[in-house]
Structure 1
Amino acid sequence: MSHPDSFRSAKSLSVGGETYRYYSIPDAEANGLAGVSRLPFSMKVLLENLLRFEDGRTVVADDARAMTGWLADRRSDREIAFRPARVLMQDFTGVPAVVDLAAMRDAMKHLGGDPKKINPLVPVDLVIDHSVIVDEFGNARAFGRNVELEYERNGERYRFLRWGAQAFDNFRVVPPGTGICHQVNLEYLSQTVWTKDEGGEKVAYPDTLVGTDSHTTMVNGLAVLGWGVGGIEAEAAMLGQPISMLIPEVIGFKITGALREGVTATDLVLTVTQMLRKKGVVGKFVEFYGPGLDNMALEDRATIGNMAPEYGATCGFFPIDADTIRYLRETGRDEARVALVEAYAKAQGMFRTSDTPDPVFSDTLELDLASVEPSIAGPKRPQDRVLLKEAKAGFLASLEGEFKKPGEAGKRAAVAGRDHDLGHGDVVIAAITSCTNTSNPSVMIGAGLLARNAAARGLTRKPWVKTSLAPGSQVVAGYLEKSGLQAELDKIGFNLVGFGCTTCIGNSGPLPEEISDTINEADLVAAAVLSGNRNFEGRVNPDVRANYLASPPLVVAYALAGSMQVDLATEPLGVGSDGQPVYLRDIWPSSAEVADFIRKTINRELFQSKYADVFKGDANWQGIEVSGGMTYEWVSSSTYVQNPPYFEGMDREPKPVTDIEGARVLGLFLDSITTDHISPAGSIKLASPAGEYLRDHQVRPQDFNQYGTRRGNHEVMMRGTFANIRIKNQMVPGVEGGVTIHYPSGEQLPIYDAAMRYKAEGVPLVVFAGREYGTGSSRDWAAKGTNLLGVRAVIAQSFERIHRSNLVGMGVVPLTFEEGTSWQTLGLKGDETVTIHGLADGLRPRVTLEAEIASADGTVRKVPLLCRIDTLDELDYFRNGGILHYVLRSLAA
């Protein structure tokens, strides 16, 4: 890449006998970027990225100058190109990305090029962690049995990923049973400062990433800037394309004081989440600063960083300081790397000390850690924090209001075949789960000590509680085993059930049948308490309506109490073996004892031994037979992995873009259509196009699995596009679900069936929508499915940023009406034909095009539309039919 280096920032840094090239922010400040040393630390990471990638096209000198403008206004409207150092994926979102890479290899072969050229250009790590389900629990068999079932269910996907691990350079797969992607990233993959060899010299730069999971933000606790993106953006980044983003506002969150005795990191993160939700930080960076950071361990910072999606920010960033260096050393990072991180951060003005002046922020808020009290969050949203001492009253108020069960607090129902009954608020799931807290030894050791103290007093879980322990990495299992605390957790039912993302994403597994039947027959509001980060209604388990987030020790406490109607602050958890009541305060471990256990059991050697063979996997993984070499041997009967048709009939040169002639309308939609409405998600219904496809392929309904696991099969996914049961197509007023009217026949059909009929007739399609089209998670299938249904253009009043770029990345043109115009003001019914001129010639970023809309009665209206292809890079992608086609042709050339 040519490098103008307008601010003469390229320098050398010598550390431990090695010399590195780096791009110096202090030098750039001296050479024209006045004041940038006062930028927030997270913005310095973005500035360094611009200095290093300045090429006169995707990054120009004015992009870096915009950072000085940001200092004056504390915000900016400038869009910049960001190139992360690496990409992180989990298996749900990783499978379709690897499918696309495999399809690109086939296409490269077809074009007469070398398929070996198709490889990620930046390092990619895929961690298989989203497929383990808690079927077996509360016994010593649980872990082995759950692993066995996981391999049975996911054999096809795992065979494919194992091929990918061997076939691609720059691509590593962390096998099932290792841990959750965020914790493996924090404990092992991340380096804080990344290095690579370039043109014969070593270059050092901040470790940055994007991930295909929203909680990628956890690693911001380690001063690694990163956030979650959709699959198309991740693939683009992986193939060396920049991610376009607006220079963000940065909200400074000042921390003072220290946590009091008996208060956990989870209590802190729930407090922070509530404060930031109230503040409103969507689309912004949050950066933590202030003297309280000196009292906050890195593990606590990672817990706060993890919850960024819950407080709505792009990320929650912590700068490098002495504790970052401590953590890198204690988790077994290479000593030379630890020395480089410290030297680099100090040279760049990126190392925080207690006398570092406060950076300039867009806005600030403040928290004294001493004010944090024990808390939980629920019953439906992560930001709905309730003080522990008010949790019982909070549940009873929800029972009456939210769940509309006034006067039913005392209702109980008998459980068939058991000697206990069940009532509202009974805790039927108590899960130490997910990435949020299991990376934090203070709360995990705390849970183990609480379990030990409870067992010593003769307490155990209530018989209706499904208990589970799913740590985020094998390190946790290692120190719980070594300290003797796993045996104590086993005594009250918290046996190891697997390593991965379980209860938090709904992989909690079924409740015992008689418990499930009682809940549903008596219409009970049962509760779950989990140490995760998401508790939306219907997410954790279909039988459980009230879901609470809590620290691991409190998860144990609620398993002992068995009900949200027990006030843990004042009422006993149960009766001990001596016949006396046992209170939470009697068995809560002191922070000194927790710290002592951590000191005795957790060390550098533990991390090094657990991560020594991290890519090797267990006997199950090693026993998977892999077929295919450079290209994948697609199995035509597979219902999980299929070769997508994106590259069919593709030539070395793109065909000229044509105008859209005589298109039909597939859907008329209102405001705020989310990517969850457009993209296939959740369970697959028997009476749906996707369900019919699976039935035709001899898949039994109980084996349908969910759309998430079938993301590698376009046949399933395109049938599920626009098929959400709650979507409302205004062409079919009063009807919910993915249906439309086919014209000119006037027949009402599922959207997929209508799209296929239009395709057979050679008729292109358009979609009309209102404001904020494509809000929500960046789901790649919202754009991929749109393309595969034959939609050439989406015409809306406005677009959500990521979905707009995803549409362009899939070769679909996003167009917006002029202010004050909408499909309603034009009186559209959906029976019109649409012709759009200006695509074939004169197309350039943000040009105004003209649509001719002909009604059934023959009247034709001419409507100006703004083309939302915003940059020259995007224009290249579009002209090539999409970003993957653009990259493929560039490599073939």
Structure 2
Amino acid sequence: MASLDSFKSRKTLNVGGKQYVYYSLKDAEANGLSGISKLPFSLKVLIENLLRFEDGRTVTADMIRSSLNWLQTRTSDLEIAFRPARVLMQDFTGVPAIVDLAAMRDAMVHFGGDPKKINPLIPIDLVIDHSVIIKYFGNNAAFNMNVEEEYKQNQERYRFLKWAQGSFDNFRVVPPGTGICHQVNLEYLSQTVFTSEEGGETVAYPDTLVGTDSHTTMVNGLAVLGWGVGGIEAEAAMLGQPVSMLLPEVIGFKLSGKLREGVTATDLVLRVTEMLRKKGVVGKFVEFYGSGLSALPLEDRATIGNMAPEYGATCGFFPVDTDTLRYLTQTGREEDRVALVEAYCKAQGMLRTDDLEDPVFTDTLSLDLADVVPAVAGPKRPQDRVELASAKQGFLKAIETEFKKGADAAAARFPVAGKDYDIGHGDVVIAAITSCTNTSNPSVMIAAGLLARNAAAKGLKSKPYVKTSLAPGSQVVGEYLSRSGLQTDLDKLGFNLVGIGCTTCIGNSGPLPEEVSEAVNQNDLIVTAVLSGNRNFEGRVNPDVKANYLASPPLVVAYAIAGSLQVDLATEPLGTGSDGQPVYLKDIWPSSQEIADFIRENVTRQIFQERYADVFTGDEHWQKIQVEGGMTYAWDDRSTYVQNPPYFEGMEREPAPVEDIDKARILGLFLDSITTDHISPAGSIKEASPAGAYLRDHQVRPQDFNQYGTRRGNHQVMMRGTFANIRIKNQMLQGIEGGLTKHWPDGEQMPIYDAAMKYRAEGTPLVIFANREYGTGSSRDWAAKGTFLLGVRAVVAQSFERIHRSNLVGMGVVPLVFEEGTSWQTLGIQGDETVTIKGLSEGLKPRQTLNLEITFADGSVKNVPVICRIDTLDELDYYKNGGILQYVLRGLAA
């Protein structure tokens, strides 16, 4: 679609003898957009997007002109339409999105339309990376055994994805065992400057994307603007709908100096996360600038970009500079693409140099890299940074305050049945080098290997109760660890390759050895996991482990040797060497120069080219999967993995009028920081849970339950799993953990799913109440889909995390926010009240104030103002249609 080009910005660029059409920011500035050269780089990407897609309807010249008001106010209530170049998915979130597309094809046939209309209009890449579970570990057979188990458990899902690959246009699947989607995106898929053929011309523009995983932001380190969205938003983007958003505030984060000896990129990102969480950047862009970037290689930038969801920002953006070009070259990108990136960014004023004038930001903060010290984060949240020297004391304090154990409990030890060792509070039972955050970064992976080499040379070993694992984020990492000989050293400490994909960080740690699990549970031990991941929320890593710490890969190895958070790695020995002498962390920590030499010698362009040469082919397991073709999917009613979802049942061509919510009951009362893991867990399915009962009724053995993440293509499992996290605390039931509630007016205690179905049979709508940061964590669309399918019509909270708020609207659930100073506690809500919400049915506007009428059990009534967080006119259209999918389907059917 050609732009109206009101600002005469359409130009041509000659690079290496080839002509590219592009939309020049410099020309637009000369033709009416004065000052855009002062904008942050991330906003320049958005402005270019508006210039290129100016159509007089979704993007107008006035909208583009109004965007410049940002320079005066440094904030904006301007709603813009952003069209990403592509969409990235992983299989946990991707399967339900493609299931929805398949269901939309069925619905299109029902409406008498052409199912081919339901087809991605922009490129989609789905990377199967979240399904491998660490069932086997600690030996060289573990990798192949875990792969066999993965294919055995996931045949139905993989058959469906292979059908989709053949049936949908613009849709590619990266098979299992290739890498984590974000690392594959960073190392191969991303181009920094994208091109497409339009009307016989090649158009060049910034590479942008949305992804169905919150850590899509990792690629911000490569100057690719993108962020995580729910699957429902991603589906709309695939089908040609712009991403509706407010022009964001941009917080500038100035970096200076350089990291000191012995400090890792992980230490840096934990410090950045702590600082930005404290600053408060939810819903904002963060952009990094300053001379410190020149001392920060792209791999470290990607580590920081990855954790944008943990510090709460929409993105953590780094502009293009010479190190970006270095990385593109090293990772095997074509030479003409690297030349285009350099020429394009120079032409657009988007190439960062140290002498460049600082952009204009909404607000700023700064950090001298030399001030960063080694650290971990835990025991429950990524932003809870603890300096390594204080980690022992931090855990001992958490034992008393977080986990309510007496001060003397820390010293207790208990025997492990059939073993010659005992176990106690703080012992590390999982040590996992895992997750996209760190395994993309050779400096910390090489450091882990060298530390293992030095430890093994001194005769140190991992403690026998530690489940050790290494799951790199791409085949490239496995290759350079193998070629350098460091994998052999890691093997000696039990860090054998267990899989290539997202494992422990997503909850795929697999079970602990039975005897260790029994000792933990029989003695109610607060044992720990140490992982090089980005998430350590309650109940996520492993059901037996209550305290979880994020750490750099070399520290993961060190904690496996020390065996406990009660060992102070800064001052106490990790263990005793073969010579009988104590060995300290400083004795085996590799130098920065040694790490750099190893990287230069072993991490080569050739490895990247070889490993990505055949990225979509897959191994022999993938190639053997047989599928039947067809424009619509042949649903199997017997499948417990993939089912046709009910979103379009009874749907009419025109939406019914919106109604107020009358006399709703309360399904749950929650406190701060309820995560999407709490709402829709990704981990193991308990046999006694409603989801477990469903699977047993369908003749699935408990050992084959797999986990919630793999069953997201089946709404029957997922709605039963909604609010079923083993650590969630519904405040209607004081002191009780797990997915339970009370049904009113009888007050009977039961699982949340059972209560919701009972309310549905009674025709009673439902609401949820929560406090601050409701829906933090993963961009998990099932946290909204499950909420909707349980019959929840509204969620009332003090604040929402960005993606979850958007997902709720996309499913037709109203997010409402209390005015400052008000909460369900200040109102005296107990859970037995009824709630009426007025103002939805007539003249609803974005961010309108509505009235909450709360009727208490004694008959008294309180009227409370709340702000409706349907933020944009597009979102209002989605809500009026019952959800974004229904809105898109009606538009295509018409």
Given the two structures, how large is their TM-score scaled by the length of structure 2? 0.90
Is 2:676 the counterpart of 1:706? Answer: no
Aligned partner of 1:658 in structure 2 is 657
Deviation at 1:258, TM superposition (A): 1.7
Do the aligned partners of residues 567 and 349 (structure 1) sit closer, same or farther apart at CA in structure 2, a change above 3 Å counting? same
SS at structure 2 position matched to 1:253: strand
Is 2:455 the counterpart of 1:454? Answer: yes
Answer whether contact 2:244 2:874 (CA < 8 A) is retained.
Answer: no
Deviation at 1:295, TM superposition (A): 1.2
Partners of 2:770 and 2:427 in 1: how far apart? 44
Deviation at 1:409, TM superposition (A): 4.3
Show structure 2 runs of 5+ residues with no match.
none
Deviation at 1:84, TM superposition (A): 1.6
Partners of 1:579 and 1:588 in 2: how far apart? 19
- Mapping of residues 724-739 of structure 1, within 5 Å: 726=728, 728=730, 739=741
Aligned partner of 1:620 in structure 2 is 621
Aligned partner of 1:90 in structure 2 is 90
Partners of 1:233 and 1:796 in 2: how far apart? 22
Q: Deviations over 1:130-181 (max 9, x none)?
A: 1211111111111011111111222221221121122111111111111111
Deviation at 1:808, TM superposition (A): 4.2
- Mapping of residues 117-196 of structure 1, within 5 Å: 117-196=117-196
Q: Is the deviation greater in 544-553 or in 164-173?
A: 544-553
Answer whether contact 1:36 1:67 (CA < 8 A) is retained.
Answer: no
Deviation at 1:201, TM superposition (A): 1.8
- Mapping of residues 17-28 of structure 1, within 5 Å: 17-28=17-28
Tell me the amino acid that sits aligned with residue 496 of structure 2.
N
Q: Is the deviation greater in 811-820 or in 417-426?
A: 811-820
Is 2:143 the counterpart of 1:110? Answer: no
Do the aligned partners of residues 322 and 811 (structure 1) sit closer, same or farther apart at CA in structure 2, a change above 3 Å counting? same
Aligned partner of 2:249 in structure 1 is 249
Partners of 1:101 and 1:326 in 2: how far apart? 39
Answer whether contact 1:742 1:754 (CA < 8 A) is retained.
Answer: no
Deviation at 1:222, TM superposition (A): 0.6
* Count of equivalent residues: 888
Q: Deviations over 1:211-240 (max 9, x none)?
A: 121211111111111111212112112222
Tell me the amino acid that sits aligned with residue 463 of structure 1.
P
Aligned partner of 1:784 in structure 2 is 785
Deviation at 1:196, TM superposition (A): 1.1
Tell me the amino acid that sits aligned with residue 328 of structure 1.
L
Partners of 1:735 and 1:274 in 2: how far apart? 28
Answer whether contact 1:838 1:850 (CA < 8 A) is retained.
Answer: no
Partners of 1:529 and 1:180 in 2: how far apart? 20
Answer whether contact 1:742 1:749 (CA < 8 A) is retained.
Answer: no
Partners of 1:509 and 1:827 in 2: how far apart? 40
SS at structure 2 position matched to 1:55: coil
SS at structure 2 position matched to 1:11: strand
Q: Deviations over 1:616-674 (max 9, x none)?
A: 111111112213422211110111110112223445xx235236499552437668795
Tell me the amino acid that sits aligned with residue 189 of structure 1.
L
Cα RMSD of the aligned pairs, angstroms, is 3.7
Aligned partner of 1:517 in structure 2 is 518
- Mapping of residues 232-247 of structure 1, within 5 Å: 232-247=232-247
Aligned partner of 1:667 in structure 2 is 666
Aligned partner of 1:72 in structure 2 is 72
Partners of 1:768 and 1:571 in 2: how far apart? 48
Answer whether contact 2:2 2:52 (CA < 8 A) is retained.
Answer: no
Structure showing greater radius of gyration is 1
Deviation at 1:101, TM superposition (A): 0.8
Do the aligned partners of residues 105 and 423 (structure 1) sit closer, same or farther apart at CA in structure 2, a change above 3 Å counting? same
Answer whether contact 1:717 1:781 (CA < 8 A) is retained.
Answer: yes
Answer whether contact 2:507 2:683 (CA < 8 A) is retained.
Answer: no
Q: Is the deviation greater in 783-792 or in 35-44?
A: 783-792
Partners of 2:469 and 2:638 in 1: how far apart? 36
Partners of 1:866 and 1:593 in 2: how far apart? 56
Partners of 1:588 and 1:857 in 2: how far apart? 66
Aligned partner of 1:287 in structure 2 is 287
Answer whether contact 2:770 2:798 (CA < 8 A) is retained.
Answer: yes
SS at structure 2 position matched to 1:210: strand
Tell me the amino acid that sits aligned with residue 569 of structure 1.
A
Do the aligned partners of residues 817 and 332 (structure 1) sit closer, same or farther apart at CA in structure 2, a change above 3 Å counting? closer
Tell me the amino acid that sits aligned with residue 244 of structure 1.
S
Answer whether contact 1:253 1:287 (CA < 8 A) is retained.
Answer: yes
Is 2:566 the counterpart of 1:565? Answer: yes
Q: Is the deviation greater in 256-265 or in 138-147?
A: 256-265
- Mapping of residues 340-739 of structure 1, within 5 Å: 340-403=340-403, 404-650=405-651, 654-658=653-657, 660=659, 665-667=664-666, 676=676, 679=680, 683-721=684-722, 726=728, 728=730, 739=741
Partners of 1:45 and 1:144 in 2: how far apart? 43
Do the aligned partners of residues 516 and 41 (structure 1) sit closer, same or farther apart at CA in structure 2, a change above 3 Å counting? same
SS at structure 2 position matched to 1:529: strand
Q: Deviations over 1:666-700 (max 9, x none)?
A: 43766879574655665545555434332322223
Answer whether contact 2:659 2:840 (CA < 8 A) is retained.
Answer: no
Given the two structures, how large is their TM-score scaled by the length of structure 1? 0.90
Answer whether contact 2:90 2:212 (CA < 8 A) is retained.
Answer: yes
Answer whether contact 1:427 1:562 (CA < 8 A) is retained.
Answer: yes
Partners of 2:629 and 2:758 in 1: how far apart? 35
Deviation at 1:358, TM superposition (A): 0.9
Partners of 2:891 and 2:739 in 1: how far apart? 41
Partners of 2:817 and 2:568 in 1: how far apart? 54
Tell me the amino acid that sits aligned with residue 580 of structure 1.
Q
Tell me the amino acid that sits aligned with residue 133 of structure 2.
I
Show structure 1 runs of 5+ residues with no match.
none
Deviation at 1:793, TM superposition (A): 6.7
SS at structure 2 position matched to 1:609: helix
Partners of 1:417 and 1:769 in 2: how far apart? 48
SS at structure 2 position matched to 1:645: coil
SS at structure 2 position matched to 1:283: coil
SS at structure 1 position matched to 2:647: helix
Do the aligned partners of residues 417 and 259 (structure 1) sit closer, same or farther apart at CA in structure 2, a change above 3 Å counting? same
Answer whether contact 2:87 2:211 (CA < 8 A) is retained.
Answer: yes
Partners of 1:130 and 1:376 in 2: how far apart? 24
Tell me the amino acid that sits aligned with residue 91 of structure 1.
D
> Identical aligned pairs, as a percentage?
73
Do the aligned partners of residues 522 and 883 (structure 1) sit closer, same or farther apart at CA in structure 2, a change above 3 Å counting? closer
Partners of 1:735 and 1:452 in 2: how far apart? 43
Partners of 2:136 and 2:619 in 1: how far apart? 20
Q: Is the deviation greater in 790-799 or in 197-206?
A: 790-799
Deviation at 1:83, TM superposition (A): 1.8
Q: Deviations over 1:37-65 (max 9, x none)?
A: 11111111122122222223322334333
